[in-house]
Amino acid sequence: MREPMTPSILRLVGAGCCGLAAWCVALPGAWAADEPPPPAAAPAAAPATTPPAAVAAEEKPPTSAEAMPATRPEVLPPIQVGAWLRAGARFQGPDPKSLDGEQVDTIYGELHAGGKIHKNVSVTLNLNASGLAKSAGIEDAIIGFDIVEPFHIWIGQLLVPVDRANSAGPFFMIPWNYPGFLTVPGVPTVVAAPAEGPSGRNGGAVVWGNFAEGKFKYLAGAFQTGSASTSPLFSGRLNLAIVGEEPGFWGNATYFGDKDVVAVGVGGQYQKNGSAPPTGSMLAPDDYAEVNGDALVEYRVGGGAWVTVEGAYYHYKGDFNPVKDHFYVLGAFATGPLGLGSLQPMVRYQWAKTQNDVTTSAIDAALSYIIKGPALRLIATFQHVDLGNDVVGNSLQLGAQAIFF
């Protein structure tokens, strides 16, 4: 059995090892400088308060990706997923003038998913479903080539750009229902809205862009609305924000008090032979055309309150369009915080003139309780519709909407 080393021998061996290690570290540098190595120095001890793991992390050499920034992989934002829901009930009797009947008339949801697959390429897939109709389908399926801020090309099934109401959709406007659809049960709905597909979408392509961070925006698209032999629908919109900014492809008819906005917009559509005669008629189709203008004014007035004024006018050309002219105007005021949210009374008036020179109108008086902007709100709306020829309807609509990301 070997005898254990004495402490003096241990100290001698340890000093020799330290000196040899220091000399080996200094030797390559000395050879590179073609000079004799400097005297060995004792290694400095790490501070007693520095954990060994921290020392190891500091001494770890950089990876090749860290050393060469050009080779670092591009980090894209995560995919965004959201659920949008609306539910509502209508009180209206067998006699459309009375309120002695009730039915659930809205169970609607959207599932949104989107993100970047390249810094200049985005993908959007939105699905929607109706619980009452027991139907579901693709709302948006978009591949977006985002070249620069003033120039984007989006293709697929997407929103038809034409007016503020369609770009905002029901979730981002103050009234519960779209303008331009005047309904009395038992008679055909008077449709005074631009040409759009289901949920305001159609298959096609849109070129759009922002200037001056959203002060000015343009959108122009071509859409296939029928068979391959049908002429495409051309649709576009220009928007100028005089106060505030309105960037992006999508739009708003209210910002729920988040900012001050004064904006005006114009839009138009054209489709060759797009004004079709009634089914079975021997008459030839006519060209369809539409022009519109709109304005939005929304200002914060202190204490968390804000006021909104919006209006739009539409003119249609085509022998078989159901409506010649249509306009609406609304005013709303939202209070400051009252409990969980804000109260917002609103009044909207609509007027339309049909091809037979019959005038129609509708008045909506609504009261919303806005808890979290568009993400959570409740609304009650009384509507009076007059389609002319003594066709009148009254209804009370209760609704709730929620958006979850």
Identify the pLDDT of residue 4. 43
Question: Residue 305 sits in a domain of what CATH number?
Answer: 2.40.160.10
Domain count, the chain: 1
Q: What is the pTM of this model?
A: 0.81
Cβ contact 320:343 at 8 Å: no
| Mean pLDDT by groups of 10 residues along the chain of 405 residues | 40 41 39 44 46 51 52 79 97 96 97 96 98 96 97 98 97 97 95 95 97 96 85 97 97 97 98 92 94 98 97 96 97 97 98 94 98 97 96 98 94
Asked whether residue 96 is assigned to any structural domain, the reply reads yes
Tokens linked to 234: 């051309």
Identify the pLDDT of residue 13. 34
Asked whether residue 47 is assigned to any structural domain, the reply reads no
Identify the pLDDT of residue 81. 95
List the one residue out of 241, 236, 230, 171 whose CA is nearest residue 199: 171
Asked whether residue 3 is assigned to any structural domain, the reply reads no
Identify the pLDDT of residue 230. 84
Cβ–Cβ contacts within 10 Å for residue 15, how many? Answer: 11
What's the CA gap between 193 and 174, in Å, rounded? 18
Which structural domain, as residue segments, surrounds residue 177? 81-404
Asked whether residue 58 is assigned to any structural domain, the reply reads no
Return all residues near 401 (Cβ < 8 A) that are at least 6 apart: 84, 85, 86, 87, 170, 171, 374, 376, 377, 379
Asked whether residue 128 is assigned to any structural domain, the reply reads yes
Backbone Cα Rg of the chain: 34
Asked whether residue 296 is assigned to any structural domain, the reply reads yes
Tokens linked to 127: 């699905």
Tokens linked to 169: 């959709």
Question: What are the start-end ranges of the E strands in 60-173?
Answer: 80-91, 102-118, 121-130, 135-148, 151-159
Cβ contact 174:254 at 8 Å: yes
At 133-162, the pLDDT tens digits run 999 999 999 999 999 999 999 999 999 999
What's the CA gap between 301 and 310, in Å, rounded? 17
The residues with which 91 forms a beta bridge, in sequence order, are 102, 396
Asked whether residue 1 is assigned to any structural domain, the reply reads no
End-to-end CA distance of the chain: 74
Query: Which stretches within 98-228 are classed as H helix?
Result: 164-168
The residues with which 138 forms a beta bridge, in sequence order, are 127
The residues with which 327 forms a beta bridge, in sequence order, are 313, 351
Asked whether residue 36 is assigned to any structural domain, the reply reads no
At 298-354, the pLDDT tens digits run 999 999 999 999 999 999 999 999 999 999 999 999 999 999 999 999 999 999 999
Helix (H, G, I), strand (E, B) or coil at 31: helix
